[in-house]
Structure 1
Amino acid sequence: MTSLSVTQNVFHPNWTLPDNVGVAITTRAFGNLAVHVGDDPAAVLLRRRRLERELPLPHSVVWLQQRHTSNVLSWPFKTTIADAAYSSQPGSVCAVLTADCLPIFICSSDGKEIAAVHAGWRGLADGVLQNALKKFSTESSGLSVWIGPAIGPDAFEVGQDVFDAFVSNQFKTSHFFEPNGDKWLANLPGIAELICRQFGINEITQSDECTVSHSDLWYSWRNEKAAARFASIIWRK
């Protein structure tokens, strides 16, 4: 069962939030929002402006240059090279672009701290989610997490290098890998949830949306080599 509700071409997670925080996820029907994938830059910019008007957002989105790193920026940003954004400022907007990787939202119970995380397997293994969580001054018991549409555990076939990258770290993640011939099927949403629980967070909501099996809604690089990305946005009102 999905934890999403749709309004036009934007999804709103069925996730309990403070009144001063908003979240939204665009679908493929809204169109590509990434400028680095070969789309017409002018068309992308028009979609971005339309998105800011329709939500409406309190501030223009400062889009990250995502490179599968573990870097986390604090708003307002002095650079844009990172794979997660954190803010404790009113009127701020944090956003990530994905097409199989995990989009993750983090919010404090009082709505004063928010973050958006882009976590592919490499970023997740290298600690991007942990680094984002460390930005929060709120105790872990006062944080909630939403794990968005991404490639699911039945679709994400990986090699031994990915298995080794996870099982060699401090988290016990081997049970999130199922043998599949000489490959593995990896459960990235499950690993992300484990990391959050290791931090003492209990309020975790999974979208249960697979970008591969539900490619009518989401862009999926693995499924179709789609030169497009959808956006996951969280903001303080």
Structure 2
Amino acid sequence: MKMPAKQWLRENRGFLVFLLCFGFFRTAIADWNPIPTGSMRPNLLEGDVVLVNRLAYDFKLPLSEVVIARLGEVQRGDIITFSSPKDGTRLIKRVVAVGGDQVEMRDERLYINGEAARYEDETAVREPVAGLGEWPARRVQEHVGGQRRQVQWLDGVHARSSFAPLTVPPDQLLVLGDNRDNSADSRYIGLVPRQAVIGRAHHILASADLDGVWTPRFERFGMALR
């Protein structure tokens, strides 16, 4: 016998309220984002789940993308989640240049507003690459625009390591993956409109090694991103 709609609503109102509160929280305040690929290695690993602050830049109407209030500005060096301007896929990358910045890349070296990046502390490692297995890579500390982060290149992999000088328009962002030779970023998908930004990732909530048994990586729980 089919249950009347009013009775169903009455018996499940607690669950419905929970769903509404959960939806409000995830779409307006905070969210979490699993890392499915190695595009942000070595700083984010496949199997990490990052905490995303949706109030870092905008307050949006819950369950929508309508901006009610602008709360802050995206800064160089921020790690953001956003909807790809190419196909709407949710991505996570690092902001390298914001509106008004002039940026270019020459043979893997970044230039921001005429300042050439410095690369220090190069270390040879072997990195897992989907379909290729363990691959030789070089990790370095990149210093540019008042920011410092660890990035890497994969030896023998030919990505877009140069692009002409570009002045980023207002309310646009140029983003790159920290794994420079294995990232679908602004070199391939174009600039990211500010309105496509979902939030700023700031900590790793949890992490598990995608080794078939999902071994927890407890040392990464709660780790701050930089």
Superposition TM-score tier, normalisation by shorter sequence: under 0.3
Higher strand share: 2
Higher helix share: 1
What TM-score do the two structures reach when normalised by structure 1? 0.23
